[in-house]
Structure formats: C-alpha cells, structure tokens
Amino acid sequence: MGHRLGDIELILTPQADGAIWRFALDTERLPSFARGIQDEGGQLLALWGSDDRHLGAGYAIHIAFLSSVGLVWTSSTLPADNPSYPDLAAIFPQADRMQRAAFDLLGIRAEGAVDARKWLRHNAWPENTYPLRRDFAAEPIRQLDAYPFIRVEGDGVHEIPVGPIHAGTIEPGHFRFSIIGDRILKLEERFGYTHKGTEKRFEGLDLATGAKLAGRVSGDSHSAFAWAYCLAVETATASHAPDRAVWLRALFLEIERIANHLGDLGYLGNDAALTFGFMQFWRLREDWLRLSAKLFGHRYLFDCIVPGGVAVDISAPGRLELEALADRIEAEVHELKAIYDEHSGLQDRFTNAGIDAGSCNGCELEIHALGGPYYNIEGIGVKFATSPRHADLLLVTGPVSRHLETALKRTYDATPEPKWVVAMGDCGCGAAGAMFGPNYATIGAVREVIPVDVDVPGCPAHAHRHIAGHTGSGKRQVDRGSTRQRFFCRAEVRQNHTLIEPAASG
C-alpha cells in the first residue's frame, strides 16, 4: 500500500504483528519527513546515534516516530569527519535533550539547534571526547562543570538554586528559579547527575547479562525494561518465547504495576499530610512484595524475565494465594478510595495542586518501605531530616556517578560530627558481582569518595538488613543525650566498617 509523509511516498508491505517500519532516509529529508509526521498528529518518540565505523561506514542518527501507520524507524548515515544532521527540536521540542545527549555521547551534532549546551557531560569526561565512540579511552577528569544556565535579569528578579541533593530519597536534579515576588518567571532544570554509562556497559555483554543490566535501568520498572530488552533480542534472532512464558511475563508486569500504584497512592496521601493514607497503602504494598518474594524469589521480580522466556513459574497453590491477596487488596483499595474521595483537605490539595548517587531506584524502594507500618523505622527512633546539617547519618545508594561526587562530598562535610555513613546496595558497597563499578561515568563504591561505617549489600538491599545496620552488628553508637537519631541520605565504608550480610534471596 502507498502512504505519503511529507514529501516522501512510502510503499509499505504488510508486516507481522508487532513489527515496525524501518528504512534509510537522507539527512536533508529528515525535516520534511518529521513535519509530515507532525501534520498527521504523530510524534517523535526517540532519537539516538550510533558509531558504525567498524562496519566501514561513518556514524548514523536513528529516530523513532509514532505515525498513522504505526512505529516508523528511520536511519540516516552521517560522514565520519563531520557527523551532523538538521535540527528537529524546532518541529518536535522533545528532541532537544535527545539531540544534546547524542552530541555529548557520540559527537553527532544537530545543525541549527537553538540550544546546543551540553546535557549529560557534566564534568566526568573531557570536552571533545565521546564515550559511545568505539575508540573512546579517556580517563575520568576533575574540572569545574560551569554549566551555562540561562539568566533572567531585571529589577526585582531573584534567582533561587535548588539541588541537586534534595531532602527526600529522590533522583538528584538541579533547578534554577527566576522569580519576582511569588511569581516564577522561569524554571530551568538540569538532570543527568545519575548518568553511569549504562549504554557503554552493554558493550560486550552476553545476552543473559544484558537482560540483567536492562532490568536495572530502573529498579521499580525492572520487568518492563527486562521484557523490552528480551523482546528486542528475540525479534533480532527470529526466536519466540513459549506462550506460557509470555503470560508469565505479563503477570510479572502487572505485579510490578500494582506495586508501584499502591506506593504512589500512599504518597498522594503523604504529600497532602494524610499520613493515614500512606501507612495503609504501604501496608498493602508490603503484603504484595512479600508474596512476590515467596512465589518468585524476589520482592521486585529481579531477573525473572530472561531471553527466550522466564526463569521462574508459578504453582497452582501459588496462583490461588496470589488471587486471594489480589481480591483482598482490591476490597481495601475501594475502602481507601472512599476515604480519599470524602477527605475535604485531601481533595483541596488534589484540586489545587537520602542521597541518590546513581542508584537504579531499587534501593530507594526499600528505603521508602522503612517508613511504612511493617518496618516503622521511626519506632526505633530514626527519622528523616530535611537537611544534612540536622542529620546524624547519611544513607547513600548507587555507584556514585562522577557528576555527583562533589555534591556527595559537600553533603558529607555539611553533616555535623559525630556522624555515620551507611552504603546501601551492591553498587554502593562495591560488592562482587555488582552491576555497576568504576568506569568513565561512575566511581564505584561510596568508600572511594567519603568514609563509610556500614555496608548493607543486596540488589536491592532489603529493608530489614538496613534496620540491622542501624541497630546492631557492631555498629558504633553516638550519644547525643537522646535516643532519637536522624538520617538524611545514603553512603559507605571505613577500614573498620560493618558488613550486613545479604539474605539468601531478594
């Protein structure tokens, strides 16, 4: 069948279910093609580059569009001596950061782009070097970042910087607010602090290890990322997972979705000062996670989806147990929804309204569980503080991205003595077999940046092991005349540090 997009006439052949349309496109025709997608109501979904010099070519820019005929993947070859292509951010604004990332990682430039500032290259690798080029061999550097924020000037204009370290255990980000009184004139965001070279880490991995790494791109969406990777592998190799494995993958994805929704519903109440809602939804979430660990060996279903199928099955008794818990949670959620709907203060807010050093977010999920009714860390006198200046303990997750090294050191220095540092998770502890270690973008164990008292390994580190790190296992005690302790973020090891041994399963 024929189909016209922009000035391009496509002859499309019926494809198998799940297939996408892929073809080569000259770079000078990219803007016209993109406008054709835009005119029919389509979208640009992704933009990335590749170094194809080992294939006797130069570079390439790849773009995925959502169009009326489905997913369209275009590839445009670029010369090795000057890899560039026309700017697409003027057509699809979401292309801006993707284009900047493509330049930072590969040196592929969007010609005519209004914003050509760096995006991912904070200060971890030198200018004019590109980590995803196959000949990249630069050593990590230490230099001033000097990011050119856009300044708003004029009488009465004030600039308020926030971050990258925040009071909550959330992803780092730096924000610049330009304000006059209570009016925000401009907000500029800076992300990329947790960049840890994931794409480079994939190079040379076997397929099974690649699936593990894909799942750890985002710990709370492990099944989604692992399935996407495995589906790509199976499509490329013209292989198929058994029907039962496909159904189990869908089950894992649904279990993951429900866990995330229960957590988010709790946070909706918590953020509007309805702690009751947080406690109730996180109680249900913990029940759900514990059953996942019982039935499948891991609270967050890590490594259950593998290329070619799945690594675990569910028994008939396990299915009945899962159905019974799903029914109970459904009934309780209906009751909690009625409470949320009838709570005037909560509805008014709805209407009007730790240090992550490079973690995948898996350990953060366990940290958040500490505040729920099952672990109730406040019951043993431990509270989160809103500033390191009010904290006794720093809790650090992740392999310490080089972008966050300075911020972590400053946070440590801002915490008054005496203080403790706890490293949580295999990556933060530098444990053998950790998915991320030292590379161009990450330093590795937290101990390489700041002193550490306690290691709490695991992938992710279970909440009960974290509590053990606070309350025993030879950990030094600090007497401030009170049994109350506060922690702010997350961290790792001195020579005489404590290691909390991992349990047998997740």
pLDDT above 80 for 138: no
Question: 213-219 contacts: CB < 8 A, separation 24 or more?
Answer: 213/435, 215/302, 215/303, 215/305, 216/302, 216/360, 216/362, 216/435, 216/459, 217/360, 218/360, 218/361, 219/300, 219/359, 219/360, 219/361, 219/362, 219/363, 219/364, 219/365, 219/460
The percent of residues in the chain predicted with pLDDT above 90, rounded, is 39
Protein fold of 355-499 = Rossmann fold (3.40.50)
Mapped onto helix, strand or coil, the DSSP state of residue 423 is strand
Q: Give the range with max mean pLDDT: 190-199, 256-265, 273-282.
A: 256-265
What's the mean pLDDT in 107-122? 92
Residue 477 is predicted with a pLDDT of: 30
Supply 25's token pair. Answer: 């496109």
DSSP string over 211-234: HHHHHTTSGGGHHHHHHHHHHHHH
Residue 502 is predicted with a pLDDT of: 38
pLDDT in tens, 182-218: 788 888 888 888 888 899 999 889 999 999 999 998 8
For CATH 3.40.50.12280, list the domain ranges present in the chain: 355-499
Residue 503 is predicted with a pLDDT of: 39
The span from the CA of 68 to the CA of 65, in Å, is 10
For CATH 3.30.460.80, list the domain ranges present in the chain: 2-111
Count, residues in the chain: 506
Residue 85 is predicted with a pLDDT of: 96
- Residue 301 falls in which region: left (phi positive, over 0), alpha (psi -120 to 50) or beta: left
For CATH 1.10.645.10, list the domain ranges present in the chain: 201-351
The span from the CA of 268 to the CA of 282, in Å, is 12
What's the mean pLDDT in 143-172? 79
8 A C-beta contact, residue 370 and residue 424 = no
Residue 500 is predicted with a pLDDT of: 40
pLDDT in tens, 401-459: 888 888 888 888 888 888 888 888 888 888 877 888 888 888 888 999 999 988 888 88
| H helices, E strands: number in the chain | 13, 20
Query: How do strand 485-487 and strand 382-384 relate by DSSP bridges?
Result: parallel
The percent of residues in the chain predicted with pLDDT above 70, rounded, is 84
Residue 462 is predicted with a pLDDT of: 79
Give the lowest-confidence range in 48-62, 176-190, 223-237: 176-190
pLDDT above 50 for 375: yes
8 A C-beta contact, residue 76 and residue 61 = yes
Reduced to 3 DSSP states, what percent helix, strand and coil does the chain have, rounded to the nearest 5?
Answer: 40, 20, 45
CATH number for the domain running over 201-351:
1.10.645.10
Residue in 477, 470, 278 with CA at minimum distance from that of residue 380:
470
First to last CA, the chain: 51
- pLDDT: which is higher, 472 or 162: 162
Protein fold of 2-111 = Beta Polymerase; domain 2 (3.30.460)
Give the lowest-confidence range in 154-168, 210-224, 317-331, 438-452: 154-168
8 A C-beta contact, residue 172 and residue 193 = yes
pLDDT above 70 for 13: no
8 A C-beta contact, residue 385 and residue 425 = no
The span from the CA of 195 to the CA of 67, in Å, is 31
In the block, tokens 């690594």 appear at 311
Q: How many CB atoms lie within 10 A of CB 441?
A: 27
Helical spans, DSSP H, in 61-167: 95-106
- pLDDT: which is higher, 16 or 155: 155
What's the mean pLDDT in 371-378? 74
8 A C-beta contact, residue 202 and residue 213 = yes
Q: Is 73 exposed, middle or buried (0-12, 13-18, 19+ CB in 10 A)?
A: middle
What's the mean pLDDT in 392-396? 84
Angstrom distances, CA of residue 195 to CA of 121, 128, 439 = 9, 18, 11
8 A C-beta contact, residue 89 and residue 110 = yes
The span from the CA of 391 to the CA of 379, in Å, is 17
Residue in 491, 214, 263, 252 with CA at minimum distance from that of residue 369:
263
Residue 169 is predicted with a pLDDT of: 64
The span from the CA of 383 to the CA of 214, in Å, is 33
